């Protein structure tokens, strides 16, 4: 009986966390989502090649490409490498 109580408790904690991670993965790495938001906030005015840079960043984080875009400073490149380690895809 105690096992069922503990498993229910763990399921109550773990299931919402797993749902959050799935949603994050779906939206956080979806290039279409960012293209839509770039249009909404007029990002193209300030950064003309924002969509291309964003696609290269997503490809870097997901492991499809190992090159960090050259448009970033050394500090930003280090941050992207840290993000890639944390995401761990």
pLDDT at 82: 95
Query: Quick one: pLDDT at residue 1?
Result: 62
pLDDT per residue as tens digits for the range 15-67 = 899 999 888 888 888 889 999 999 999 998 999 899 999 999 999 998 999 99
Query: What's the rounded mean pLDDT across residues 58-84?
Result: 93
Paired tokens of 27: 């939206």
Question: Closest by alpha carbon to 14, among 89, 33, 22, 39?
Answer: 22
Residue-level pLDDT at 31: 87
Q: What is the pTM of this model?
A: 0.74
């Amino acid at each position: 009986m105690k096992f069922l109580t503990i498993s229910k408790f763990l399921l109550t904690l773990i299931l919402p966390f797993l749902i959050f991670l799935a949603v994050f993965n779906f939206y956080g790495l979806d290039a279409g989502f960012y293209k839509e938001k770039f249009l909404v906030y007029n990002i193209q005015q300030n950064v003309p090649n924002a969509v291309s840079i964003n696609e290269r960043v997503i490809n870097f984080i997901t492991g499809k490409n190992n090159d960090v875009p050259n448009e970033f400073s050394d500090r930003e490149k280090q941050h992207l490498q840290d993000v890639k380690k944390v995401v761990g895809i």
